[in-house]
Amino acid sequence: MATQANSVPHPTVIKVDPFIPADQQRGLHNRWHPDIPPFVTVKPGDVFKVECVGESTFFLVKSGQCVIGTEVVDDAGEMQIGLVLRLATMTVLSSIFAASDDIRDVDLSKVHNLSGPVAVEGAEPGDCLVVDILDVVPFEKMPWGYTGIFELENGGGLFAREFKSRACKAIWDIHGIYASSRHIPGVRFAGVSHPGLIGTAPSAELLATWNKREGALIEAHANAVPPVAFAPNPTGAHVGQDLPDDVREKIGKEGARTIPGREHGGNCDIKNLSRGSRCYFPVFVKGANLSVGDLHFSQGDGELSFCGAIEMAGIITFKTSIIKGGVEKFALKQPIFVPSPIDPLYSQKLVFEGISVDYHGDGKQYNMDATVAYKQAALNAIAYLMKAMRKSIRFCLELTIKHMRLAREQAYLLLSAAPVESHVGAVVDSPNACVTLAIPTGIFDHDIMPKEEGLKKLDFGQCAIRSDGVL
């Protein structure tokens, strides 16, 4: 008989409130350090939930002039009219419409807000922690997320320099398994929901290795904008637990920043670490001390715009087990995983190629550089999508140009957020690495395949921009 007694939810071992600043909450931390104690301990075999603020609330530390969420204007058409009227009414508009000022002003010293650490009983250094990611869902009360383009000078992104990026944003409505956006109409896709960031705690030795090698890189590129890497930084560091001052200070001073993925996992932003996947992590400290955050409703391979996934707050469900001595058994230098059987399947794809020549820029030949090749493939895809975007009638040249930039930014956001796949074609045919980027055509309401008559123009509306109108 179904009774309340026998109907017990899986326990939530870390609870958060997405409406309270992360640095005021317990169970969150934003640095990697072996001395951060476990916030909670679970047994192998337990099914448990962890709540995450994701990165959709790190903006909360800012005052409220910007808008994320469902109350913003629903009609991209209105927004376009708004643009036309911009010179006269910008002050008004900025208080009505979604704007991207939050993106512009983000304080990146505070990212990422990780839930954890969760210790697993019996895990020892050298073991393999098997983690079943059983589900990843948004909070029921927050069925939305967003994708952002950071400013060149604050965060950047893959094309920050090429596009001289100004802050832009698309808000996505989450309707069950699907996302769609008022800022990129005509598109709907199933989410490959996953944690952008998940990892075990580093040992002191591993942490030292990270800091040393990244320090060397920073030193070699001292004035890069955006920076090439991020050194430990006590400012903004947060560990939502009661800690002795010296421990807290040590964590702030030594703790690795969460931006890059590393040998323990971390911010790998692999879209296929999705709900239903099984992951095998190396264990570096007693208990393994798993932390997780930066939940994504969806993301494309590459996560181009850096804040490129659909960032959401929500809940992740886990089950763990331990394989003793797994690091040696499986030669684990970094996690391995088995993808989910329910990752979205869109069989028809339009694939773009790129090689390691910057032919979208200065034409320079690189030597077997897959990153450059990836960028060309992505730029080819963006150029193609822009051919499928209807241009609005504009009153003045200035706005037409800006509209074109917005179309580009929308394509950039779309490739960042949709379940786009990027394959390494070949990395041996000197000097050109070849990388492909595949867009599933089934995510579009309209046909975007190449046709004799050219591409059908779609109305792509307009993404959210800065309230001061700067593009």
Question: Binders of a second copy among 175-194, rule CB under 8 A?
Answer: 175-178, 190
Q: How far is the CB of 119 from a second copy (least distance, A)?
A: 21
By CB under 8 A, residue 3 contacts a second copy = yes
By CB under 8 A, residue 276 contacts a second copy = yes
- Region 88-127 residues binding a second copy, contact defined as CB under 8 A: 102
Tokens of 161: 């320099």
Total residues contacting a second copy (rule CB under 8 A)?
156
- Region 396-455 residues binding a second copy, contact defined as CB under 8 A: 421-436, 438, 442, 447, 449-452, 454-455
By CB under 8 A, residue 336 contacts a second copy = yes
Single residue of 234, 359, 456, 459 touching a second copy by CB under 8 A: 359
CB under 8 Å, gap of 24 or more: what pairs does 107-110 form?
A: 107/58, 107/61, 107/62, 107/236, 108/154, 108/155, 109/233, 109/235, 109/236, 110/22, 110/23, 110/30, 110/58, 110/61, 110/236, 110/238
By CB under 8 A, residue 242 contacts a second copy = no
Single residue of 43, 367, 390, 401 touching a second copy by CB under 8 A: 367
Instruction: Please choose, from the candidates 260, 258, 292, the residue with its C-alpha nearest in 3D space to the C-alpha of residue 118.
Output: 292
How far apart (Å, rounded) are the C-alpha atoms in residues 16 and 27?
8
* Closer to a second copy by Cβ: residue 331 or 397: 331
How far apart (Å, rounded) are the C-alpha atoms in residues 339 and 279?
8
- Region 29-48 residues binding a second copy, contact defined as CB under 8 A: 47
How far apart (Å, rounded) are the C-alpha atoms in residues 273 and 65?
35
Single residue of 282, 293, 326, 461 touching a second copy by CB under 8 A: 326
By CB under 8 A, residue 222 contacts a second copy = no
Single residue of 131, 263, 291, 295 touching a second copy by CB under 8 A: 263
How far apart (Å, rounded) are the C-alpha atoms in residues 80 and 306?
26
Q: What DSSP designation does 11 have?
A: P
Q: Are 71 and 30 in contact (CB under 8 A)?
A: no
By CB under 8 A, residue 23 contacts a second copy = no
Single residue of 88, 222, 331, 397 touching a second copy by CB under 8 A: 331
Backbone angles phi, psi at 81, to 5 degrees: -55, -45
* Closer to a second copy by Cβ: residue 39 or 280: 280
